[in-house]
Amino acid sequence: MPTKVAADKAYQNAMQNSDKQNARIEHDKALERAVIELLSDHTELFKQFSDNPSFKKWLSETIFAATYADKAAQAGSVATRS
């Protein structure tokens, strides 16, 4: 799921052109879209995401940390190569 969220165009745009807070907002929207796409095959995931606020918060924080950190690391490696 982190790969799917990280590939979301709106989230990528926010990471590249906005601050962390706005990137987080776009991340949360991208995560919701990714969970909805998985609905037919992963109904329990969708149920937990929709009905369990602590699960939704945990999943959101975990995937944001993984995807936003990846972007920061990539930006750092590009800067050191220049």
pLDDT tens digits for range 31-72: 999 999 988 889 999 999 999 999 999 999 999 999 997 665
Supply the pLDDT for residue 40.
85
pLDDT at 23 over 90: yes
Banded pLDDT at 76 (limits 50, 70, 90): low
What does the alpha-carbon distance between residue 81 and residue 60 come to, in Å, rounded to a whole number? 32
pTM for this structure?
0.73
Question: Do residues 27 and 33 make contact, with C-beta atoms less than 8 angstroms apart?
Answer: no
Domain spans, the chain: 2-81
Q: Residue 14 corresponds to which amino acid?
A: A
